């Protein structure tokens, strides 16, 4: 099996690659070949015995997608995107990368296909940013998409394209609306959502974290491990079960900031939560107030997608996967 | 006021042009200039005293949209599209005309705009084809879009683009999901939906009509007059009331074929309905079974959009507007 991962240098892409390389197979079929692509060259997966081509690609360049697809991969993960803040700040770049890039990929598949019998599975990383504005506390699987950002608009459009290209038989596609990843490993960043991870990650590393919103703010989160598991499960799921409704909101945990902090105190003690400093930021509070607070992901759950059931578990996963199982001294 | 109508040579475009020319004004502001555009040259509106530029345009050609917009129209109607059957038969043409054409229009506005203070109102003709597959009998205003055709996919994508370009301040846009027009004037065509009009229009003209589905088939219809009225109302509506949710399912009438025929008998008598010949066509029955049967258009109604309340009225409108008020002898 040949797997192409676009966006392989990103956080989720790296974790997915590592996990696939460690498993060595998908659904019982051995992985013989990786093509790992990103705007910066991805790293080769350690200990993988097969072929791993690590390539730099810009899907907005005409012809780049077709070249990337020349090996006719059986399974394609499309994780590449510019993030919400950048797509809002740079209108043209957002549409170019997040919409045209995806369209070039889809057209690259469609136009390469005739006479080959090749019909790859395409797993697309969508986002809960397809929802926005006035929303119920719990969004069901038949609720309409009302993005309030250009990023969310681009993801929603790509979902529609993926469904149509699947219905027409060019791909076997699925769009997974991933929850906000928490605890996101690495350094603090300036994303408006950064504090959801920061208030856990920094204190567990013995550092101060800033909390810019009130503790009653509720958000939809999943661990990096659950995110990778969603992507793996989508690789072997019988997609005919989706009946042409190929976009799925992934399970997650609807948790308030206060509940996050209480869980951190249970897991790591009050000396750790004491490192969280309240510094209200009306700009961030306003941005966050436009985000979805919770979902009823019945459909994804009925198809076997599983997430964490409590936030304590999300913290323990971070400690296991990123901190070598150790709490700060 | 300068009004641009794209798709002005089509049935709805012609009726809209005639009505606007007859009114001479929109919301109290005199119409001084029409630009009427289509892939075939539209006719000049009879009796209009102002300027009427009738132009042939193909929006898929780079630069064509920018040229069309050079007069900076205050109000733009975008009614142009290739129809469902053609978009399904010719995948590339469908995306080129229905998606890329609309995107060129939006980009033409955005890139012409800087420094001009020009921000046109854009009224887009969307379709209930954005819904498909398993649907409830009554679709509410917050129900998700699940198109089952490439045409419906393209309309849904354009709705998303229109919302984002409006949110970003490039246009003041609104997407109207028009009901199936009934009674559609003119000759029979081969559209799968053609019989909904044909079983009224042909018998009223003393001709035989074929009914290819059973009488319990229910569909969502509106008269040509109501359709034009929706487009006129959208021209003066305060679009800030839409709160960034700029796609509206228009009111219509959920009526079965049996109810259509009963209304025709009430209005025109049994000698007219006797001209309807039942010739079941499983292909057409299958296509129609995937279409929406009814809506709760509360939101559009609360914003002042009004449709017919009974099918008898739709028939009488056809007799008044197309048959000079006369029933067949």
- What is the reported pLDDT for A94? 97
Residues in chain A: 329
Q: Are strands B75-78 and B121-127 parallel, antiparallel or unpaired?
A: parallel
Residue B81 has pLDDT above 90, yes or no: yes
B115, B121, B113: which is closest to B166 by C-alpha?
B121
Measure A146 CA to nearest chain B CA, in Å: 7
Q: Chain B partners of A133 at a C-beta cutoff of 8 Å? A: 243-245
Q: What is the pLDDT of residues B116-154, one digit of tens each?
A: 999 999 999 999 999 999 999 999 999 999 999 999 999
Nearest-CA residue of chain A relative to B247?
Answer: A146
Residues of chain A in contact with residue B146, where contact means CB-CB under 8 angstroms, are 163, 244-245
pLDDT tens-place string over residues A185-197: 998 877 788 999 9
Would you call B110 helix, strand, or coil by DSSP? helix
Q: Alpha-carbon distance A140 to A120, whole Å?
A: 30
SS3 assignment, position A29 = strand
Q: Do the Cβ atoms of A191 and A83 come closer than 8 Å?
A: yes
**Do A145 and B144 lie within an 8 Å CB cutoff?**
yes
Q: What is the CA radius of gyration of chain A?
A: 20
SS3 string, A56-72, reads: ECCCCCCCHHHHHCCCC
Q: How many CB atoms lie within 10 A of CB B170?
A: 21
Q: What are the residues of chain A with a beta carbon less than 8 Å away from any beta carbon of chain B? A: 91, 110, 132-134, 141-148, 150, 153, 156-157, 160-161, 163-164, 167-168, 243-245
Residue A26 lies in a domain: yes
Omega into A183 within 30° of 0, i.e. cis? yes
Task: Give DSSP secondary structure letters for A33-102.
Answer: EEEEEESSPPPPPTT--SEEEEEE--TTSTTHHHHHTTT--SEEEE-----HHHHHH-HHHHIIIIIIHH
* B55-85 per-residue burial string, b: 16 or more CB within 10 A, e: under 16: bebebbeeebbeebbeeebbbbbbbbbbbbb
How many structural domains is chain A composed of?
Answer: 1
Of the partner residues A91, A156, A244, the one whose CB lies closest to the CB of residue B160? A156
Average pLDDT over residues B230-252: 97
Other CB atoms within 10 Å distance of the CB of residue B98: 27
Domain of residue A145, CATH code: 3.40.50.720
Does the distance separating the beta carbons of A164 and B147 come in below 8 Å? yes
Please list the residues that pair with B6 across neighbouring strands: B37, B78
Closest-CA distance, B248 to chain A, in angstroms, reads 12
| Per-residue model confidence (pLDDT) at position B329 | 67
Asked whether residue B226 is assigned to any structural domain, the reply reads yes
Task: Describe the crossing of helices B311-322 and B194-204 by its angle, rounded to 10 degrees.
Answer: 60
Owner of token pair 């007069």 = B71
pLDDT band at B84 (very low <50, low <70, confident <90, very high): confident
Best residue of B106, B160, B168, B292 to probe chain A, by most A CBs closer than 10 Å:
B160
Reference A246, options A174, A181, A168, A299; nearest CA is A174
The pLDDT profile of chain A, 329 residues, written as one tens digit per residue, is 999 999 999 999 999 999 999 999 999 999 999 999 999 999 999 989 999 999 999 999 999 999 999 999 999 999 999 988 899 999 999 999 999 999 999 999 999 999 999 999 999 999 999 999 999 999 999 999 999 999 999 999 999 999 999 999 999 999 999 999 999 999 887 778 899 999 999 999 999 999 999 999 999 999 999 999 999 999 999 999 999 999 999 999 999 999 999 999 999 999 999 999 999 999 899 888 889 999 999 999 999 999 999 999 999 999 999 999 988 76
The burial class, CB within 10 Å (0-12 / 13-18 / 19+), for A40 is exposed
Note whether residue A195 is domain-resident: no
In a domain, B77, yes or no: yes
Whether residue B153 and residue A161 make contact (CB cut-off 8 A), yes or no, is yes
pLDDT of residue A329: 67
Spatial contact of B253 and B220, defined as CB atoms under 8 Å apart: yes
pLDDT band at B192 (very low <50, low <70, confident <90, very high): confident
Distance, C-alpha B50 to centroid of its chain: 26
Residue B197 located in a structural domain: no
Q: Is B29 helix (H, G, I), strand (E, B) or coil?
A: strand
Interface list for chain B against chain A, based on CB atoms closer than 8 Å: 91, 110, 132-134, 141-148, 150, 153, 156-157, 160-161, 163-164, 167-168, 243-245
Kindly state the DSSP code that residue B143 receives in the 8-state scheme: B
DSSP, collapsed to helix, strand or coil, labels residue B152 as helix
Q: Reply yes or no on whether the pLDDT at B107 is more than 70.
A: yes
The reported pLDDT for the residue numbered A327 is 84
Nearest CA in chain B to A142: B144
Domain that residue B88 falls in: 2-179+222-249
Subunit contact A147:B164, Cβ cutoff 8 A: yes
Catalytic residue among B95, B143, B151, B165: B151
Q: Is residue B327 part of a domain?
A: no
Tokens of A66: 């077709």
Minimum-distance CB partner of A164 among B110, B153, B244: B153
Please count the residues of chain B.
329
> Does residue B95 have an active-site annotation?
no
When pLDDT is cut at 50, 70 and 90, the band that residue B99 belongs to is: very high
**Residues of chain B contacting A62 with CB distance shorter than 8 Å:** none
Report d(CA B28, CA B40) in Å as an integer.
Answer: 31
Domain membership flag for residue A309:
no
Query: What does the alpha-carbon distance between residue A51 and residue A154 come to, in Å, rounded to a whole number?
Result: 33
CB atoms A163 and B143 under 8 Å: no
Q: How distant is the Cα of B78 from the closest Cα of chain A, in angstroms?
A: 20
| Residue among B143, B157, B168 whose CB faces A160 most closely | B157
Strands B276-278 and B209-211: parallel
**For B146, which of A133, A168, A245 is closest by C-beta distance?**
A245
Instruction: Give whole-number Cα distances, B227 to A19, A320, B42, in Å.
Output: 55, 61, 19
pLDDT of residue A189: 74
Residue B256 lies in a domain: no
Residues of A in contact with B142 (CB under 8 A): 143-144
CA distance B227 to A91: 34
Say whether B243 and A133 touch across the interface (CB within 8 A).
yes
CB atoms under 10 Å from CB of B284, counted, come to 20
Cα–Cα distance between B126 and A214 in angstroms, integer? 41
Residue B225 DSSP SS3: helix
Whole-number Å distance between alpha carbons of B102 and B96: 9
CB under 8 Å to A90, separation ≥6 — which residues? A82
Please list every residue in chain A whose beta carbon sits closer than 8 Å to the beta carbon of residue B244.
Answer: 132-133, 146, 148
**Whole-angstrom distance, CA of residue A94 vs CA of residue A96:** 5
Phi, psi (rounded to 5 degrees) for A179:
-70, 170
Structure tokens at B314: 């739709």
Q: Which of B141, B143, B244 sits opposite A133 (nearest CB)?
A: B244
* Cβ–Cβ under 8 Å, residues A139 and A296: yes
**Greatest distance between any 2 Cα atoms in chain A:** 65
What 3-state DSSP class applies to B229?
A: helix
The strand ranges marked E within chain B are 2-6, 25-26, 29-30, 33-38, 51-56, 75-78, 121-127, 172-178, 180-181, 209-211, 218-222, 247-249, 253-256, 276-278
Q: In the prediction, which pLDDT does A191 show?
A: 77
Give the mean pLDDT of B64-80: 97
């Amino acid at each position: 099996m040949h797997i192409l991962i676009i966006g392989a240098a990103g956080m989720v892409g790296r974790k997915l690659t590592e996990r696939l390389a460690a498993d060595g197979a998908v659904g019982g079929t051995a992985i013989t070949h990786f093509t790992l692509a990103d705007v910066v060259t991805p790293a080769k997966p350690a200990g993988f015995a097969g072929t791993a081509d690590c390539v730099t690609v810009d899907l907005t360049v005409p012809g780049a997608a077709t070249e990337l697809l020349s090996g006719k991969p059986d399974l394609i993960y499309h994780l590449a995107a510019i993030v919400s803040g950048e797509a809002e700040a740079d209108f043209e770049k957002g549409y170019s990368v997040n919409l045209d890039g995806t369209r070039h990929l889809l057209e690259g598949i469609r136009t390469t296909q005739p006479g080959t019998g090749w019909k790859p599975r395409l797993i697309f990383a969508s986002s809960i940013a397809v929802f926005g504005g006035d929303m119920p506390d719990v969004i069901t699987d038949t609720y309409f998409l009302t993005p309030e950002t250009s990023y969310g608009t681009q993801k929603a459009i790509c979902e529609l394209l993926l469904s149509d290209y699947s219905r027409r038989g060019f791909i076997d596609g699925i769009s997974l609306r991933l929850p906000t990843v928490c605890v996101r490993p690495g350094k603090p960043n300036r994303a408006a959502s950064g504090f959801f991870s920061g208030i856990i990650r920094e204190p567990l590393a013995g550092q101060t974290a800033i909390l810019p919103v009130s503790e009653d703010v509720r958000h939809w989160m999943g661990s990096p491990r659950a995110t990778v598991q969603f992507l793996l499960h989508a690789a072997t799921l019988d997609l005919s079960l989706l009946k042409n409704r190929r976009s799925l909101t992934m399970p997650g945990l609807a948790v308030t900031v206060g509940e996050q902090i209480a869980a951190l105190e249970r897991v790591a003690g009050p000396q750790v939560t004491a490192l969280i400093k309240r510094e209200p930021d009306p700009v961030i509070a306003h941005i966050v107030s436009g985000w979805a607070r919770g979902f009823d992901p019945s459909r994804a759950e009925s198809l076997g997608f599983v997430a964490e059931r409590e936030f304590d578990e999300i913290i323990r996963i971070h400690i296991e996967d990123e901190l070598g199982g150790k709490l700060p001294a």
